[in-house]
Every structure is written in C-alpha cells, then in structure tokens.
Amino acid sequence: KTDFINFISDQEWKSIEPVSSWFGPSSFLMSSMSALFQLSMWIRHCHGYLTENVGIPVWGSYAVFVLATLFSGLILGLVSEVLETDWL
C-alpha cells in the first residue's frame, strides 16, 4: 500500500512509458479479447443451465456445443462463399 502511495505522490508514474495503442483498453484487439472472454462465460453459463436445470448429462451438453459449433461453421462457410461469388 505504501509503495503505491509513494508511486503516486512522488510522481514516479511519469517515468513509465505508456502502453501501445494496440494494447490499450479501448483498442480493437482488447475489445475482441473481452468479447471472447464474455463468450466463454456465456458458454459456461449455458453448460451449467443444461446440466443442472434441464438435466442433460455432461456429455450431452458437450454434444450440443459440438453440433452448434459445426452448424455455425457451416453457415459461416456458406455465407462467405456466397459473398465471394457475388463480389468476384
């Protein structure tokens, strides 16, 4: 605690080089990382809901997520192909 207070009161923070804009909290990279962590927490919440409230076994919950991943990849692949053929 005292080190932090001394860091502020002695203005030692002025000698530290600022963080690059790529790694700033409001940058695209960090916003994407935040969205990825939020997605992982949402998936964890859904897994808990499926296993505890709905009563699906753990392997069944994993199967639901595997199928969702496969179908979302299929849809994204089809959309990218349609966009590619329209643009070219």
Q: Hey, where are the domains in the chain?
A: 27-87
Confidence of residue 25 (pLDDT cuts 50, 70, 90): confident
Q: Output the pLDDT for position 78.
A: 93
| Token pair recorded at residue 79 | 């959309």
Instruction: Determine the 3-state secondary structure of 79 from DSSP.
Output: helix
| Helix, strand, coil percent content, the chain, rounded in steps of 5 | 80, 0, 20
Q: Which amino acid is at 70?
A: L
User: What percent of the chain stands above pLDDT 90?
Assistant: 57
Q: What are the structure tokens assigned to 83, written together? A: 């966009």
Report the percentage of the chain scoring pLDDT > 70: 97
State the first-to-last Cα distance of the chain, in angstroms, to the nearest integer: 61
Question: How much is the average pLDDT of 25-40?
Answer: 91
Separation CA 2–CA 10 (nearest Å): 12
